[in-house]
């Protein structure tokens, strides 16, 4: 049973994380490490390794794009930004999130 709860939770988190990444990149491009920083602040992610598969998946789905930027220290870094498709998806996800939020809100308030 416990493993099942864990599975549901990780599924929820996965979908949620992708939405959050799109939100962070909305209107402003960022390095992976900046995105990481924001997610860590929000306590959504603990290990950095989680982020890279997500970014690649979003990029392959055509929602993100990146360009290489030279860094003063260390190797060149990927500078991620939203594509038009990503912006459309973000708007859709925002609606979906709102609906979900309202649904849960409705159920919890009715219960009381």
Partner 1 sequence: MKKTLTVNLSGVVFNIDEDAYDMLSDYMCDLERHFAKTDEKEVLRDIECRIAELFNEKMPASHNVVNIDMVREVISIMGRPDQMDDGESSERNGSSDQFMNDMADTVKAAASEAQKKLQKKLYRRTDQVVIAGVCSGLATWAGVNVVVVRVLALVATLCLAQLWVPVVYLILWMLVPQATSASQKLEMEGEAVNVDSICDMKEREADDDKGEQSGGGCLGAFLKVALILIGVIVGLAVFGTLFGVIFGFLGMVIGAVTSLFAGTVSLTAELAGCGSAFVPSLLALVVVVVPVVAIVLLVKRLLSPNNGKHVRNVLLALLFIWVLALVFLGHYGGFPFVTGLPW
Residues forming contacts to partner 1 in the complex (CB under 8 A) are 2-3, 5-7, 9-10, 13-14, 17, 32-33, 43-50, 52-53, 55-56, 71, 73-75, 77-78
The nearest distance, CB 95 to partner 1, in angstroms, is 23
What span, in angstroms and rounded, lies between the C-alpha atoms of 77 and 79? 6
Distances (CA, A) of 70 to 22, 33, 55, 59: 23, 14, 20, 20
- Cβ proximity to partner 1, 12 vs 91, nearer residue: 12
The nearest distance, CB 100 to partner 1, in angstroms, is 16
- Cβ proximity to partner 1, 7 vs 88, nearer residue: 7
- Cβ proximity to partner 1, 73 vs 112, nearer residue: 73
CB atoms within 10 A of CB 31: 15
The nearest distance, CB 10 to partner 1, in angstroms, is 4
- Cβ proximity to partner 1, 69 vs 95, nearer residue: 69
Pairing of strands 77-82, 64-69: antiparallel
Q: Is 112 helix (H, G, I), strand (E, B) or coil?
A: coil
Name the residue among 19, 8, 17 with its Cα closest to residue 95: 19
């Amino acid at each position: 049973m416990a493993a099942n709860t864990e599975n549901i939770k990780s599924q929820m988190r996965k979908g949620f994380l992708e939405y959050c990444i799109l939100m962070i990149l909305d209107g402003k491009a960022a390095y992976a490490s900046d995105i990481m920083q924001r997610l860590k602040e929000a306590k959504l992610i603990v290990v950095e390794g989680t982020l890279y598969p997500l970014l690649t998946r979003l990029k392959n789905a055509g929602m993100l794009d990146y360009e290489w930027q030279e860094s003063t220290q260390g190797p060149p870094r990927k500078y991620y930004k939203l594509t038009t498709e990503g912006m459309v998806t973000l708007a859709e996800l925002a609606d979906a999130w709102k609906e979900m939020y309202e649904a849960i809100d409705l159920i919890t308030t009715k219960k009381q």
